[in-house]
A and B are shown apart, each in its own frame.
Chain A
Amino acid sequence: QLQLQESGPGLVKPSETLSLSCTVSGGSINTNSYYWGWVRQPPGKGLAWIGNIFYDGNTYYNQSLKRRVTISMDTSKNQFSLKVTSVTAADTAVYYCVRVPLVMVTALHLPTWFDSWGQGALVTVSS
């Protein structure tokens, strides 16, 4: 059974870098069958997509966060990671890692819905 587990500091100071990892068990991230992604949810608010990564290293980011976000993967650890630089209080949220099935359309691997979620990690930005 696939499981995703977020880990990382729960408190980050303003202007610093938020770093989270997602450890996947029950399946390999080194696959051309899925993307892997991040979604966040500020306290009491709705969901927002952050970005996805494919096994070949290609990444896709929310345009509103693109300049501050990096998603990477370490296949030897079966983990993928999120970094958000120059954080402010607006980055305070529960961060979820997700698995993203894909569909093939012509030669494109198109990411789709989020079928598995980690339990979430609350990251608070505060001095």
Chain B
Amino acid sequence: EIVLTQSPATLSVSPGERATLSCRASQSVANNLAWYQQKPGQAPRLLIYAASTRATGVPARFGGSGSGTEFTLTIGSLHSEDFAIYYCHQYNNWPPEDTFGQGTKLEIK
């Protein structure tokens, strides 16, 4: 099983500042990685797929980068609605054996 480790577990950032979240895979997943945002009481929302492609309707301040085992989600100039939990997800295996990271909670500083 591919293990995804997200860091930090909690990130405190002020509105208007930049946030950088990390996801590390235990083995290469090429660019087969997605990022999701989850707010309390809501379903996750797809933000990024194929490591760096923004999903439909996702603001340009969200950016993904990386390949292989190291990935980053960057949120530039944080808005109040961006404070949430973020998960990475790898879908590299065939047959499928998808896994998620444990999440990074982005909180207001």
Q: Which residues of A contact B (CB under 8 A)?
A: 46-49, 52, 60, 62-63, 96, 108, 110-115, 117-120
Cβ-defined contact, A112 with B43, below 8 A: no
Cβ-defined contact, A113 with B94, below 8 A: no
Cβ-defined contact, A47 with B91, below 8 A: no
Chain B residues whose C-beta falls within 8 Å of the C-beta of A115 in the assembled complex: 46, 49, 55
Chain B residues whose C-beta falls within 8 Å of the C-beta of A118 in the assembled complex: 43
- Distance in angstroms from B38 CB to nearest chain A CB is 8
**Identity of the chain B residue whose Cβ is nearest the Cβ of A108 in the assembled complex:** B94
Chain B contacts with A in 24-38, Cβ cutoff 8 A:
32, 34, 36
- Given known A-B contacts A46-B102, A47-B89, A111 and B46 have beta carbons under 8 A apart: no
Cβ-defined contact, B89 with A113, below 8 A: yes
- Given known A-B contacts A46-B101, A113-B34, A113-B46, A60 and B87 have beta carbons under 8 A apart: no
- Distance in angstroms from B78 CB to nearest chain A CB is 22
Taken together as a complex, chains A and B put the C-alpha atoms of A49 and B92 apart, in Å, by 13
Chain A residues whose C-beta falls within 8 Å of the C-beta of B44 in the assembled complex: 47, 96, 114, 117
Number of interface residues of B (CB under 8 A): 25
Cβ-defined contact, A111 with B96, below 8 A: yes
Q: Which residues of B contact A (CB under 8 A)?
A: 1, 32, 34, 36, 42-46, 49-50, 55, 87, 89, 91, 94-103
- Given known A-B contacts A63-B97, A120-B43, A111 and B87 have beta carbons under 8 A apart: no
Chain B residues whose C-beta falls within 8 Å of the C-beta of A110 in the assembled complex: 94
Cβ-defined contact, B45 with A117, below 8 A: yes
**Identity of the chain A residue whose Cβ is nearest the Cβ of B4 in the assembled complex:** A46
- Given known A-B contacts A46-B103, A115-B46, A118-B43, A62 and B97 have beta carbons under 8 A apart: yes
Chain B residues whose C-beta falls within 8 Å of the C-beta of A113 in the assembled complex: 34, 46, 49-50, 89, 91
Taken together as a complex, chains A and B put the C-alpha atoms of A119 and B39 apart, in Å, by 12
- Given known A-B contacts A46-B102, A117-B43, A112 and B97 have beta carbons under 8 A apart: no
B32 partner, pick from A48, A112, A119, beta carbons under 8 A: A112
